Structures are given as structure tokens and as C-alpha cells.
Homo-oligomer: A and B are copies of this chain.
Amino acid sequence: MHTLDSSGLRVLTREECLRLLSRAPIGRIVFTDRALPAVQPVTFRLDGDSVVIRTSPGSKLAAATRHAVVAFEADDFDVERRTGWSVTAVGRARAVRDPDEIARLSELPPAAWAPGERNHYIVVDMEQVTGREITRE
């Protein structure tokens, strides 16, 4: 049995959402920048119920997401078949300050593609996690 939303898309369970997120190489963090909606693609790692993003301490992303409630989205679509899924998580972002936590996170597989020093970690502790799938029967 599948639950459909008002648009006819299949509603994914939290477990399905986390499994899809764990395999996605790229996501998008959604935040507010000077009172305007902003979105930035990032590489990330899932760490339990948290999304871990590695950035530089002086980045706009680091400044704008400090203590902010953000959304995090990942998706994958097959344009030919018109199928795919998307998962969105909402939670509070925090900069990691604890040296032990930084040491632990630095042992997660490297993910940053952009050049430059990336020793600043933003963690989004996911509260709501929702997802949809569009399939062809």
C-alpha cells in the first residue's frame, strides 16, 4: 500500500528518505540571505539524523545558516522516463565548535569539491523529513 499526496505522488517513509539521502552525492541547502530566499548546492554526508556540510569558515553559507532553521533537499530524476524522487529535511543548522566532534566529522569521507580550506562544519539536525516519488506504473 502506498500513500499518495494531493498531487498523486507517492509519499516516502522517513526510512526511505534517509536511505535515499545516504546515497545522494549532492544536496541543496535552503536558507535566508539578507531577507531573501537563497539556495546553494553542496556536497554532504549523512551522520545519523544529521546532514553534515563542509565549508570554509568565512563563507556566506556559514554566516547565513548560523542558528537558522534551514531546509535541505536532494533529488534524482530520470528525464527520459519522467520518474524520480525528492527528499526535503527541515532543521536547525549549527556550526560545529566542539573539537572532538570536528575530529570525528573530519573522518567522514571527504566531500567538498570546491577549492580552498574547508575546515568548517555545518550540521543540520533534521527534524522534519519528507519525500515524494514519481513513478510510472
Contacts and interface: CB of A to CB of B under 8 A. Distances in A.
Interface of A: 6-9, 25-26, 28, 30-32, 36-41, 56, 58-60, 69-71, 73, 75, 77, 79, 82, 84, 86, 88, 90, 113-116, 134
A88 B90 CA distance: 20
A77 B26 CA distance: 8
Nearest to A71: B37
B86 A41 contact: yes
A79 to B, nearest CB: 5
Contact of A7 (B59, B73, B77, B86): B59
Given A28-B39, A30-B39, A41-B77, A114 B134 contact: yes
